Structure formats: structure tokens, C-alpha cells
């Protein structure tokens, strides 16, 4: 089976998190079947164009390490190019391709020219609503004679082209939901060519899906109700229908469609918050979809192999940020050290070329769930913050004891062979050896030592801190602690 899929992000300047899920499903499906994964820019609404939106979108694909087979590409010099042989892949560049289809619809009587102004349309709908009718075009222009149409067009009157919805029923098999049918009487005479000459989404998508040989159309659930318009268009034009699959919505905690007002919606904002691309993808791919009953973490290849459209849930899914945090932490823990450094660097002004900070990263990843949280943790390794010397005293001990322990441990540290500092467990063994051979309590030694090294009431263990800071700096901090307490 050869599968072509497409993702149609609107050029609003960012990628919606729901779009990412659809993209991933497209991706898995295409890769699994050896098909093509196509990116197409659907920008037929000239009013909503945003400068640089396509570039930023493609950039997001890059950040997520998502490769596609055909579509617009970002060239080395920052301009846009294309790959694939059924382009252009941007709908605003395909206007001439849509025109003949609209003409055919017109010639067959399946569409008609409409001169109604948007003012009249607004009034008409208001009146319909007032009369408790459903807003729908009243077909005032549906019966216009060819002569009159020509005359008014010649006079320069603005017009649109509407499809003439036939009587009957429209149904299709949704790959996720099964059969869905609509009574055509409920479908409005949709505008297919706007007064600015651009095709509307409905015409463009039907024509493009055909010309680009798209086999599967995956999109959000909000598209279900407009699907009959496209079904009818396929029918009128005699074009083969793709497989439709309407993916459930991603929801706010209150179960309404995810919105900017109630949470983050863009992929970019999640990346900026310090979620790893792989973790985000894992999370979003398994939201409303679960290939195995008792597994949460999946490699991309595994997801690709297991993906099954028919197992996608039909109900909307609330974003569980806490689970995303947990998952990101899992990914953080297994990230190779070199990759960890690369990932964290953009989130801190500190230079992670420093060996101390690189060791700190390894230690602190354990108590962090997002990349942004590292910045805070790292500070104490570079520079000891000011702290109240009183916290050096363990709750079960005394100031005098703390001073004694600090002095002794300082000696111990200074006498440790340099190669003890290459391994946390060697440091732990050395400190514990000191404690047991002197018949001391762990807390009496470990607490003041840890506070002296970190300056913090809550921190990593003293062994980890010794390892990260190194012999010289550790010694300096312990001595500093002794002086400030005495």
C-alpha cells in the first residue's frame, strides 16, 4: 500500500499542538506504509497572511526532526524552495489550477454566480436567526440567467461562485469513526471561488488532494461538519475520494477545544518552556491513542511500526501537563550527557563548557522536569549564594559540633587523593569511612558538609556536590562555612 498524507497548517505563524498530533499520525502512516509525507501550505485566505509564517513553520519541523518527502523547504540562504514533483505546494500559487474546475462546475450547473454583498448576507442571516430558522444562503442568485450574469459581470459587479448543493444524502466512512452521513438539505451552498478570485478551502483541497494523489486525509474533528461539502464536490467533479480520518480534539481542562486563553497551544511555546522535542512527540502521539496497554515511553520507530488508525480514540483528550512533565523528566534522565549540554545551553546564560557545570547537569537532571528549571539549579555551582550560617547546624546537633565536624571534614577532603574525585561512589566511600571509623552519626557530618557545599537547605547529596565542585572549591566552601559559623 502506498499512502500519501498531507498536513495543511494554516499560516498563522506557529504550529498548533493539535496539528502536531495530526502531523505525527500522518508521519507514522506514511513511513509505515512506505508512502509519502507531504507538507502543503493552505493559504487561500489572503486576509490572514502573516509574514514569515511559512518559514517559522518549516523551522518547527526542523526542530522536531521531522522529515517530509514533498513540500516547501527552507533554503540555506533563508528563502523558500520546494521539493517534490506535484507542486507548487502552496495554494496561493495554484490559483490557475482551480479555475478550470470551477468553470466545469459552472458549465454543468453544479455551481452558480452570486452577486450578493456581504452586507445583504449578514442581514439575511440575522433575519433567519430572528425567525428561528437556520442560517443558510437563500439562493437569491441561483436562478440568474446567463445573460444577466454576463451583464452584471461586465458592469464590474463583484461576485463569488457558489456550489449548488443537490438533494439527497452525503455519507462517507471515517477511518476512525465509521460511517457518517448528512442530509444535504442541511448543507449550505458553499462559496468555492471568492470575490478576490481565490478558491475557498473546500474547492482547493478537493482539487489538490486529487492532483497530489493524496490517499489519506487526516484532520481535526472540527472538520467533520464541512466534509459533506467536499464529498459533494468530489462527486460533481467525478474525482476519487481519499480516506478521511477525523482525529479527536485536544481539550482544555474544562473539556472545551484547546484555546490560547486557557493554556499553551503552540508547539513553539512548549519547546520554549523546556520540553524536549522527543518527549513532546511521545506525549502528543499517545494522547488519545495507545498502541499497548501498559507502556508509556515509545521510540519514534516503535510508534511508526505500531501505528493503527483504527485504534485512535474517538473522544477528545484533555492535555495532562503533569504527565508531560513526568515524561519529559524520563527523557531527560536517559539523554546522553553531550546531548543534555546541547539541550540546556539555550536555557541559561552560563557557559556549559565548564566541567563543573557539566557535572552539575548530570546531578541536577534528577530533580528537574523541564529545561528551564536548570538555570536556577546551576547558579549554586558557579557561585555560592549568601546563606544564614545557622542552617549549617543539623537539627539533632549543636553549633559546636557542626564547627568541629566542618573542621575535621575539611582535613579529610584536603587529604583525599585527587583521583577520588573522579567518581561519586569513591567520594561516598571515603566520607563514610571517615564517619564510621570515628563512630560518628551520618547527620552530624553529612548535613553541615552538604550545606557548606551548596549553601542550600535542599540540594543534591554531599558526595555529588564534592564530585561536581572538585577538591579545591569544595575545600574553600567548607572553610568558608567554618569561618562564617564561628
Partner RNA sequence: GGCUCCAUCGUCUAAUGGUUAGGACACGGGCUUUUCAAGCCUGUAACGGGGGUUCGACUCCCCCUGGAGUCACCA
Residue list 43-62, contact with RNA (CB under 7 A): 44-45, 47-48
Q: Please give the Cα distance from 221 to 165 (Å, whole number).
A: 23
- The set of cell numbers assigned to 423 is 567518581
**Pattern of binders to RNA over 316-355, x per CB under 7 A?**
xxx-x-xx-xx--x--------------------------
Which one of 14, 28, 68, 289 is in contact with RNA (CB under 7 A)? 289
Tell me which residues in 83-102 interact with RNA (CB under 7 A). none
Which one of 172, 182, 244, 347 is in contact with RNA (CB under 7 A)? 182
Taken in order 280, 285, 291, 292, the sign of the CA dihedral is positive
Q: Give the residue among 14, 135, 38 at the shortest CA–CA distance from 87.
A: 38
Closest distance between RNA and the C-beta of residue 441, in Å? 8
CB 319: neighbour CB atoms within 10 A? Answer: 22
Q: Give the residue among 363, 357, 337, 326 at the shortest CA–CA distance from 459.
A: 363
Closest distance between RNA and the C-beta of residue 324, in Å? 8
Residues 6+ apart with CB under 8 A from 39: 6, 7, 9, 58, 61, 68, 70, 71, 72, 89
Cβ proximity to RNA: between 155 and 353 the closer is: 155
Give the helix/strand (H/E) hosting 179.
Answer: strand 178-183
Residues 6+ apart with CB under 8 A from 97: 207, 208, 211
Stretch that binds RNA, among 55-63, 234-242, 250-258, 382-390 (CB under 7 A): 250-258
Residues 6+ apart with CB under 8 A from 173: 179, 180, 243, 244
Cβ proximity to RNA: between 2 and 253 the closer is: 253
Stretch that binds RNA, among 23-31, 77-85, 180-188, 381-389 (CB under 7 A): 180-188
Which one of 18, 35, 71, 288 is in contact with RNA (CB under 7 A)? 288
Q: Please give the Cα distance from 481 to 317 (Å, whole number).
A: 52
Tell me which residues in 108-147 interact with RNA (CB under 7 A). 116-118, 121, 125, 132, 134-137
Cβ proximity to RNA: between 25 and 394 the closer is: 394
Between the CA of residue 107 and those of 34, 76, 144, 236, what are the distances in Å? 40, 46, 14, 11
Closest distance between RNA and the C-beta of residue 396, in Å? 9
Residue 248 touches RNA, criterion: CB under 7 A: yes
Give the helix ranges, DSSP H, for 319-398.
321-334, 337-344, 355-364, 374-382
262 is known as an active-site residue: no
CB 448: neighbour CB atoms within 10 A? Answer: 28
- 259 with 273: CB under 8 angstroms? no
Residue 225 touches RNA, criterion: CB under 7 A: yes
Cβ proximity to RNA: between 201 and 482 the closer is: 201
Closest distance between RNA and the C-beta of residue 76, in Å? 28
Cβ proximity to RNA: between 65 and 376 the closer is: 376
Annotated catalytic residue within 62, 63, 255, 260? 260
User: What is the size of the binding site for RNA (CB under 7 A)?
Assistant: 83
**CA dihedral angle for residue 275, residue 276, residue 282, residue 288, rounded to 10 degrees:** 20
Cβ proximity to RNA: between 148 and 196 the closer is: 196
- 234 with 240: CB under 8 angstroms? yes
Stretch that binds RNA, among 139-147, 232-240, 281-289, 402-410 (CB under 7 A): 281-289
DSSP structure string for 253-305: TTSSBP-GGGS--BHHHHHHTT--HHHHHHHHHTSS--SSTT-----HHHHHH
Which one of 257, 262, 399, 476 is in contact with RNA (CB under 7 A)? 257
Tell me which residues in 405-464 interact with RNA (CB under 7 A). 442-443, 446-447, 450, 457-463
Taken in order 296, 24, 329, 424, the sign of the CA dihedral is positive
**Pattern of binders to RNA over 185-224, x per CB under 7 A?**
-x-x--x--xxx-x-xx-------------------xxxx
Cβ proximity to RNA: between 268 and 325 the closer is: 325
Stretch that binds RNA, among 25-33, 245-253, 402-410, 417-425 (CB under 7 A): 245-253
Residue 42 touches RNA, criterion: CB under 7 A: yes
Cβ proximity to RNA: between 222 and 423 the closer is: 222
Q: Please give the Cα distance from 369 to 330 (Å, whole number).
A: 8
Closest distance between RNA and the C-beta of residue 46, in Å? 8
Q: Please give the Cα distance from 451 to 409 (Å, whole number).
A: 13
Tell me which residues in 352-391 interact with RNA (CB under 7 A). 366-367
- 327 with 283: CB under 8 angstroms? yes
Closest distance between RNA and the C-beta of residue 35, in Å? 22
Which one of 296, 299, 305, 376 is in contact with RNA (CB under 7 A)? 296
Which one of 90, 110, 286, 348 is in contact with RNA (CB under 7 A)? 286
Which are the catalytic amino acids? Answer: 260
Amino acid at each position: 500500500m502506498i499512502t500519501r498524507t498531507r498536513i495543511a497548517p494554516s499560516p498563522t505563524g506557529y504550529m498548533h499542538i493539535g496539528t502536531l498530533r495530526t502531523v505525527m499520525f500522518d508521519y507514522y502512516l506514511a513511513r509505515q506504509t512506505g508512502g509519502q509525507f507531504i507538507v502543503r501550505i493552505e493559504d487561500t485566505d489572503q486576509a490572514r497572511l502573516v509574514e514569515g509564517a511559512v518559514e517559522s513553520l518549516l523551522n518547527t519541523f526542523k526542530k522536531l526532526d521531522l522529515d517530509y518527502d514533498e513540500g516547501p523547504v527552507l533554503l540555506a540562504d533563508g528563502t523558500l524552495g520546494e521539493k517534490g514533483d506535484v507542486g507548487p505546494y502552496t495554494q496561493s500559487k495554484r490559483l490557475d489550477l482551480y479555475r478550470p474546475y470551477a468553470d466545469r462546475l459552472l458549465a454543468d450547473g453544479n455551481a452558480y454566480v452570486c452577486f450578493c454583498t456581504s452586507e445583504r448576507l449578514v442581514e439575511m442571516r440575522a433575519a433567519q436567526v430572528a425567525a428561528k430558522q437556520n442560517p443558510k444562503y437563500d439562493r437569491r442568485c441561483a436562478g440568474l440567467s446567463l445573460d444577466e450574469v454576463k451583464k452584471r459581470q461586465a458592469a464590474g459587479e463583484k461576485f463569488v461562485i457558489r456550489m449548488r448543493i443537490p438533494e439527497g444524502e452525503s455519507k462517507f466512512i471515517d477511518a476512525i469513526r465509521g460511517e457518517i452521513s448528512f442530509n444535504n438539505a442541511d448543507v449550505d451552498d458553499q462559496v468555492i471561488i471568492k470575490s478576490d478570485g481565490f478558491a475557498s478551502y473546500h474547492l482547493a483541497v478537493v482539487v489538490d488532494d486529487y492532483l497530489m494523489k493524496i490517499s489519506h486525509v487526516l484532520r481535526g474533528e472540527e472538520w467533520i461538519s464541512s466534509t459533506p461539502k467536499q464529498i459533494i464536490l468530489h462527486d460533481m467533479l467525478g474525482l476519487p475520494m481519499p480516506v478521511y480520518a477525523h482525529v479527536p480534539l485536544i481539550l482544555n481542562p474544562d473539556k472545551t477545544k484547546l484555546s490560547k486563553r486557557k493554556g499553551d497551544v503552540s508547539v513553539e511555546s512548549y519547546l520554549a518552556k523546556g520540553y524536549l522535542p522527543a518527549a513532546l512527540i511521545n506525549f502528543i502521539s499517545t494522547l488519545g491513542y495507545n498502541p499497548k496497554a501498559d507502556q508509556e515511553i515509545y521510540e519514534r520507530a516503535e510508534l511508526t511500526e505500531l501505528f493503527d488508525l483504527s485504534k485512535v480514540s474517538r473522544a477528545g483528550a484533555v492535555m495532562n501537563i503533569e504527565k508531560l512533565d513526568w515524561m519529559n523528566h524520563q527523557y531527560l534522565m536517559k539523554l546522553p550527557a553531550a546531548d543534555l549540554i546541547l539541550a540546556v545551553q539555550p536555557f541559561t546564560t552560563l557557559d556549559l563548557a565548564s566541567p563543573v557545570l557539566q557535572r552539575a547537569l548530570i546531578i541536577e537532571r534528577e530533580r528537574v522536569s523541564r529545561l528551564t528549571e536548570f538555570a536556577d539549579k546551576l547558579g549554586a555551582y558557579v557561585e555560592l549564594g549568601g546563606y544564614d550560617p545557622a542552617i549549617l547546624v543539623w537539627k539533632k546537633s549543636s553549633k559546636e559540633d557542626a564547627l568541629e565536624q566542618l573542621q575535621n571534614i575539611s582535613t579529610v577532603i584536603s587529604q583525599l587523593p585527587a583521583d577520588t574525585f573522579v567518581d561519586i561512589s569513591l567520594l561516598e566511600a571515603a566520607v563514610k569511612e571517615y564517619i564510621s571509623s570515628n563512630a560518628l552519626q551520618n547527620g552530624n557530618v553529612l548535613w553541615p558538609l552538604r550545606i557548606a557545599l551548596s549553601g542550600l537547605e535542599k540540594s543534591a547529596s554531599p558526595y555529588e556536590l564534592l564530585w561536581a565542585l572538585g577538591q579545591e572549591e569544595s575545600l574553600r566552601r567548607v572553610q568558608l562555612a567554618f569561618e562564617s559559623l564561628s
